[in-house]
């Protein structure tokens, strides 16, 4: 039976209070700790004072605020998309985009480990859904070759996979697909972290915008709350015309909208934040690779995703690693997540704000004494 985990209280930018103890926190996906940045907090409280806590209406009725439009311009600029449409969450971005595309495709190819919300979304399309082996561009190519003449094909995948930071080989997929196929990337973890300017996984692979649809959350690199659909004007118009979910739900709260705008400004103004994140992640992956615990297989310095997953091979090993983490006052972020290993895994999200000492401490806990754990990628 699934139980609600114990509550954690954030304490500063890299700690939580757990059972009365102050622990270093590597859980979650707030990769730049924007949720606790003074500028995002200030923006949120100003917006709360000015606009209140909710528009209390769908954007297509009376709930459209100027700061929602401002956020959409900022997201389109930062994530290099022709247009952006803000919705209530990343999960809803997937659902609303799918609703707008019903009947458009005959076949959907989807990574077998795609995020549950993306999988559920493509089931709505009214197309034949074919899962392909995780990150396997050859499997995509061979599936694509066997599609019937006249097939209208969509490929759906996460850009960065949430449990181990693996990056989808989007450029290889594109090569293996028919020219008119559309690529749908759920870039919740790539947006803001990957690519030379943080524009995400498609930018990392230098993919053109043509035939590209993206969805993302505002709750990871931006440390806020909400979701976004990124695509052409026709894509956004399609959601406005055809998504019942978009038409009938409330957008993110004004404080979250203002905080997301502030986070984008911070990331755009200071490329050093991304560099610091990548330096830390590079170091972690390099050390884990040296210890034989992780294969560092990503091609360029801006392509390292800030997630390390450790799957213990036994309960005893899980307990040992937990003890080592606790001994170093690191919160043991052991989780079970839909689509992940049934027995669970330790998931560590690296942030630009972790200090070198905190990172070293995590590495010592993972590496010494050598665990023989299967550290993914
Ligand atoms: C890959 C991926 N897609 C979608 C979502 C859903 O985003 P949100 O939490 O904003 O609904 C998540 C969130 O954890 C995610 O990791």
DSSP state of 160: B
Atom of ligand 1 nearest to the CA of 162: 16
Ligand 1 lined by 90 (C-beta under 6 Å): yes
> Is it true that the peptide bond before 276 is cis, omega within 30 degrees of 0?
no
User: How far apart (Å, rounded) are the C-alpha atoms in residues 288 and 164?
Assistant: 13
Measured in whole angstroms, how far is the alpha carbon of residue 268 from the centre of its chain? 19
Instruction: Give alpha helix (H) positions in the chain.
Output: 38-51, 66-78, 90-100, 116-123, 137-145, 170-176, 201-204, 233-242, 244-247, 254-269, 271-290, 315-327, 356-367
Residue nearest to atom 8 of ligand 1 (CA): 90
User: How far apart (Å, rounded) are the C-alpha atoms in residues 228 and 215?
Assistant: 6
> What pTM was computed for the model?
0.95
Ligand 1 lined by 97 (C-beta under 6 Å): no
Ligand 1 lined by 223 (C-beta under 6 Å): no
> From ligand 1's centre to the CA of 116, what distance in Å?
9
Domain extents for the chain? Answer: 9-30+271-376, 38-268
Provide CATH code, domain 9-30+271-376.
3.90.1150.10
Q: What is the pLDDT of residue 233?
A: 97
Q: What is the pLDDT of residue 369?
A: 60
Ligand 1 lined by 219 (C-beta under 6 Å): yes
Residue nearest to atom 15 of ligand 1 (CA): 188
Ligand 1 lined by 117 (C-beta under 6 Å): yes
Q: Which helix (H) or strand (E) holds 84?
A: strand 83-87
Ligand 1 lined by 361 (C-beta under 6 Å): no
- Nearby residues of 9 by Cβ (< 8 Å), 6 or more positions away: 16, 17, 18
> From ligand 1's centre to the CA of 340, what distance in Å?
14
Ligand 1 lined by 113 (C-beta under 6 Å): no
> From ligand 1's centre to the CA of 90, what distance in Å?
5
Sign of the CA dihedral running 95, 192, 174, 140: negative
Q: What is the pLDDT of residue 291?
A: 78
- Edge-to-edge strands of the sheet including 334-335? 334-335, 345-349, 307-311, 374-376
What tens-digit pLDDT sequence spans the chain (377 residues)?
A: 889 999 999 999 999 999 999 999 999 999 999 999 999 999 999 999 999 999 999 999 999 999 999 999 999 999 999 999 999 999 999 999 999 999 999 999 999 999 999 999 999 999 999 999 999 999 999 999 999 999 999 999 999 999 989 999 999 999 999 999 999 999 999 999 999 999 999 999 999 989 999 999 999 999 999 999 999 999 999 999 999 999 999 999 999 999 999 999 999 999 999 999 999 999 998 888 787 666 434 444 556 789 988 888 899 999 999 999 999 999 999 999 998 899 999 999 999 999 999 999 999 999 876 544 444 43
- Nearby residues of 188 by Cβ (< 8 Å), 6 or more positions away: 29, 90, 115, 158, 159, 160, 162, 215, 216, 217, 220
Q: Specify whether the CB–CB gap between 373 and 367 falls below 8 A.
A: no
Q: What is the pLDDT of residue 311?
A: 87
Q: State which fold the 38-268 domain adopts.
A: 3.40.640
> From ligand 1's centre to the CA of 134, what distance in Å?
18
């Amino acid at each position: 039976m699934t139980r609600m985990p114990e509550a954690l209280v954030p304490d500063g930018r890299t700690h939580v209070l757990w059972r009365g103890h102050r622990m270093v926190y590597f859980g979650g996906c707030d990769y730049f700790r924007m949720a606790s940045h003074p500028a995002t907090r200030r923006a949120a409280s100003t917006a709360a004072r000015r606009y209140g806590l909710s528009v209390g209406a769908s954007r297509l009725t009376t709930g459209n605020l100027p700061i929602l439009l401002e956020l959409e311009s900022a997201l389109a600029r930062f994530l290099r998309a022709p247009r952006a449409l803000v919705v209530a969450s990343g999960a809803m971005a997937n659902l609303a985009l799918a609703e707008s595309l019903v009947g458009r495709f005959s076949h959907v190819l989807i990574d077998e480990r795609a995020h549950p919300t993306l999988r559920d979304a493509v089931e709505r399309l009214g197309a034949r859904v074919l899962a392909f082996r995780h990150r396997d561009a050859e499997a995509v190519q061979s599936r694509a070759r066997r599609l019937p003449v006249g097939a209208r094909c969509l490929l759906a995948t996460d850009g960065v996979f949430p449990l181990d930071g693996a990056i989808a080989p989007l450029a290889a997929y594109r090569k293996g697909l028919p020219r008119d196929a559309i690529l749908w990337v759920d870039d919740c973890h790539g947006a803001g972290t990957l690519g030379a300017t943080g524009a995400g996984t498609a930018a990392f692979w230098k993919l053109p915008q043509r035939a590209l649809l993206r969805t993302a959350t505002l709750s990871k690199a931006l440390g806020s709350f909400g979701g976004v659909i990124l695509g052409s004007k026709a894509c956004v118009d399609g959601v406005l015309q055809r998504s019942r979910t978009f038409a009938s739900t409330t957008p993110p709260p004004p404080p979250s909208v203002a905080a997301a705008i502030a986070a984008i400004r911070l990331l755009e103004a200071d490329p050093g934040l991304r560099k610091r994140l990548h330096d830390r992640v590079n170091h972690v992956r390099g050390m884990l690779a040296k210890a034989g615990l992780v294969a560092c297989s990503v091609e360029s310095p801006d392509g390292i995703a800030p997630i390390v997953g450790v799957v213990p091979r036994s309960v005893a090993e899980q307990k040992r690693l937990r003890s080592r983490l606790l001994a170093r006052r690191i919160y043991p972020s052991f989780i079970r997540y839909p689509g992940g290993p049934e027995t669970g895994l330790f998931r560590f999200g690296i942030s630009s704000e972790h200090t070198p000492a905190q990172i070293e401490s995590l590495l010592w806990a993972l590496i010494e004494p050598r665990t023989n754990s299967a550290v993914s990628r």
